[in-house]
Structure 1
Amino acid sequence: MTSSDALPVAVIGAGPVGLAAAAHLIRRGLPVKVYEAGSTVAANVKDWGHVRLFSPWEYNTDPAARTLLEAHGWRGPPGKVMPTGSDLYEAYLKPLAETPEMAAVIETNAKVTAITRQGADKVLSKGRGTKLFVLAVSNGNGSIRRDLARAVIDASGTWTTPNPLGAGGILAEGEAENAGNIAYGIPDVLGRDRAIYEGRTTLVVGAGHSAANVLLDLARLAERDPATSIVWATRGENLMRVYGGGRADQLPARGELGSALKALLDGARVTLVAGFSVVRVRADGDQVIVEGETANGLREVGPIDRIVVSTGQRPDLNLTRELRLDLDPWLESSKALGPLIDPNEHSCGSVPPHGHRELAHPEPGFYTVGIKSYGRAPTFLMLTGYEQVRSVVAAIAGDLAAADDVHLVLPETGVCSTNLPVEGAPASSGCCGGPAPAQVDDACCVADAEAKAEGKSGCGCGPAKPPETIAEPAGCC
């Protein structure tokens, strides 16, 4: 048997949050080993490198990572500038990984395929918490090695496990057979993938920020080549959530993204098919026909040259099958976070400060952090992940005072509930009592404006909070 004190804390994933976890472990003098499945750190970030973040640099770097970089002469980019994924990699993540302290603990091309306890499967309870973690690690050569760890921080993300085209959460009929006509996520429409989309008809499925980015890029491509045609399909009929809070959004670029999308639709540059749940894809020569359920029965869309599925991602639960996890039953997030981020209930983007206690599982020493901790919920910001790992690392180090001293201030979206107004409906149907008074610039609705006047925060539905925290979820919305 190996003493746990001599073993590292295993960090799975060398993306922004995983590297931040390693930086905090290094600062506390704890041994750490970072496993990255890609050929370079932040491989997933590089995959969406063409996308510009709607949050500026000040929200996208971690304090412990900055301290480590600055010790080697690094100077951070201007805080108010919004980076692309490539900027984030080149100016921050790559230099961070190249510091001597980090380079010594990162292994690339190392995919963790499973985690368990030494000598114990999921069923065994006796002495479970004293047993070391065992990681099955593949280097792509067909063999699997077993590494031991004292604790595990899973920051592997969700980017490589996209949700399917099928509206029910499973593959649509014909989705696998027509994979050559389908892309997932945010393809580089204006760059490396341009030839696939230029002059062709593309169907974008989804109603989030990823779909908005793809639609706007396709519109720019259509300006250069009018033969480029765009169809947008959404399961819901109310698009106010994706349009966002406009000027009420504390991240202006996020608000502008929704506003630009609405202008695109208003200008009839995109054909919208709302209330459309995809059930089937069938070939039509080199193109495809997409069938979906609507309130009026089945409807066909097509022929289509290319489908872009921008319906979000989901966590890979196979990785942790032999561990005892406590997950929200529908979001697959950490269970304690589920009610706070559930898109069925609210869309404020306000998440109460949370740390190691909310991110822990019944498996002692195992934590899920980063976007994976949110499961299928789409509202994660990197700033959240950085505070998560600061708290988790402090807990692993035994510094519970620091671990419990959690501070998190997230920029509000300006959209305060799922009870959003439908286009053409009277103003009184708006969220929380209708639109905010015209003279109130930072409120999204009447209840929000009134509550903020009373010193409350968030969507105006939570109790008053000191400035270093944020409001509870907006129950009244």
Structure 2
Amino acid sequence: MSAPATAGLPVVVIGAGPVGLAAASHLTERDITALVLEAGPQAAAGVRAWGHVRLFSTWGELTDPAAEKLLAPTGWTKPDTTAYPTGADWAQQYLQPLADVLGDAVRYGATVTGVSRAGRDRVVDADRADQPFAVDYRLPDGAEHRVLARAVIDASGTFALPAPAGGNGLPALGEAAAADRITYRVPDLSNPAVRARYAGRRIAVVGSGASAFTALAALAELARDVPGTRAVWVLRRGISGSTFGGGTADQLPARGALGLAAKAAVDDGHADAVTGFRTRAVERDGAGSVVLVGDDGTRLDPVDEVIVLTGLRPDLTFLGEIRLGLDERLQAPAALAAEIDPNQHSCGSVRPHGYRELAHPEAGVYLVGMKSYGRASTFLAMTGYEQVRSVAAALAGDIEAADRVELTLPETGVCGGSGLFDDPAGHASGGCCAPAPQLVRIGTGTAALPVVEAGTPSGGCCG
């Protein structure tokens, strides 16, 4: 009897971020050969891109047990488990050392361009499950390569595809033409050039999650130093009890403090909030400023800059020849989607899950980490670590361990969902849009709150 076509082939892991490296660690622990394909020039390229942002998860929640075992013989010491690292800290003190330990199992500058069954497009059924996967990737010099794999774990995340400003999911009219005044990332105001771009300016912040909280808090600090700096917070929904997260009821204290810091930015007069506004167009006025226009024709006052933080999306283009079972709304695995629907759940209410929920019609393919959540952005690193532990166990044939999924997530302090569904009444699903755009000031007092920045798609729970 001949050996199966996949015998001796590696498991290809796409992405050398936190969850991808954890996947490789668990595979290595089970004596399964892993090959990690990372598009960037070093480990955790996505994390490094937001290296200035401080996570609201502590070091105790940001390292994986199997990875720690690999690192231990090198003399690596786990940082203070109660401390909150920045993205740069996470990459430099944990992720890059882990990638170094994995050595040649991590291939840098390798951008995956396609995944399929060897010799089979997505239409062909014959002997499909017996064929290895063909993973194509491109190197920086343009050279194209193909590697065969017994399974594929896609941990490439969603950071590369930020959502647009448009309220209907498409770019707003004129959004591309105003690209010189728009950023889709939390700006690094410690960088002198970036700081100069926003200092003394009027800035629109579009979005309602942790990244928007981070930007508002940072701009409030800038406003205290540079008069004339002012933010306009543009929300598609109205202000409700859950708008600023769980506050003191959040079991991740820094996450709660982040929302309170954003509230303080508004309370202290450094930002105004425009509610019930869904952007239809981005226009330039005669002075070169930017004007946001709503679906109902409402025109906001001109701003100098726009920071769009409306979420992230998974890149599914290179998986076009693979049979995926994705929820039509969230673009997440169908069995997982109901658990992570942001209309109903917060990141503390998602039940433990593993390889079964992450499985697809194409056996042997798993979307893990932030990518497994599709367009739902409330993700914690510890969720991803448990996902890949289960997947690695399943690939090793240890189904008992794979099914023994154990994970307790910290509650957000927010009851129900995030209110993404725009109920005109303004009260369903934990808080929704106001019936018409309104400029509001929240509260009258000031608050002495720490500016604790958000975790990002790979690190903390993001709205």
| TM norm structure 2 | 0.88
Separation in 1 of the partners of 2:376 and 2:185? 15
- The Cα offsets for residues 69-113 of structure 1, whole Å up to 9 and x where unpaired, read as 1121111011111111011011111111112xx112111110001
State the partner residue of 1:86: 88
1:227 aligns with 2:259: no
Aligned AA (2:318): L
Percent identical among aligned pairs is 50
The farther-off stretch of 377-386 and 282-291 is 282-291
State the partner residue of 1:277: 278
State the partner residue of 1:472: none
SS at match of 2:306: strand
- The Cα offsets for residues 236-279 of structure 1, whole Å up to 9 and x where unpaired, read as 01343341111211000011111111122122220111111011
Contact 1:315-1:332 at 8 Å conserved across structures: yes
* Residue 187 to residue 2, structure 1, CA distance change in 2 (3 Å): farther
Deviation at 1:413, TM superposition (A): 0.5
| TM norm structure 1 | 0.85
* Residue 431 to residue 147, structure 1, CA distance change in 2 (3 Å): closer
| 1:243-392 paired onto structure 2 within 5 Å | 243-284=244-285, 285-293=287-295, 297-347=296-346, 349-392=348-391
Match of 1:71 among 70, 73, 78: 73
Deviation at 1:328, TM superposition (A): 1.1
Q: Which structure ranks higher in relative contact order (CA pairs < 8 Å, sequence separation ≥ 6)?
A: 2
- The Cα offsets for residues 153-185 of structure 1, whole Å up to 9 and x where unpaired, read as 000000001111111111111111111111002
Contact 1:167-1:235 at 8 Å conserved across structures: yes
Separation in 1 of the partners of 2:418 and 2:109? 45
Deviation at 1:187, TM superposition (A): 1.9
Separation in 2 of the partners of 1:98 and 1:154? 20
Aligned AA (2:261): A
Instruction: State the number of aligned residues.
Output: 420
Contact 1:161-1:313 at 8 Å conserved across structures: yes
Aligned AA (1:200): R
Deviation at 1:431, TM superposition (A): 6.9
Aligned AA (1:403): A
State the partner residue of 2:37: 35
State the partner residue of 2:437: none
Separation in 2 of the partners of 1:166 and 1:191? 29
Deviation at 1:418, TM superposition (A): 3.7
Contact 2:346-2:416 at 8 Å conserved across structures: yes
* Residue 345 to residue 113, structure 1, CA distance change in 2 (3 Å): same
Aligned AA (2:382): L
| 1:106-117 paired onto structure 2 within 5 Å | 106-117=106-117
Deviation at 1:401, TM superposition (A): 0.9
Contact 2:162-2:184 at 8 Å conserved across structures: yes
Q: Which runs of 5+ in 1 are unaligned?
A: 421-427, 433-477
Deviation at 1:7, TM superposition (A): 1.3
Separation in 1 of the partners of 2:316 and 2:56? 29
Contact 2:346-2:418 at 8 Å conserved across structures: no
The farther-off stretch of 86-95 and 410-419 is 410-419
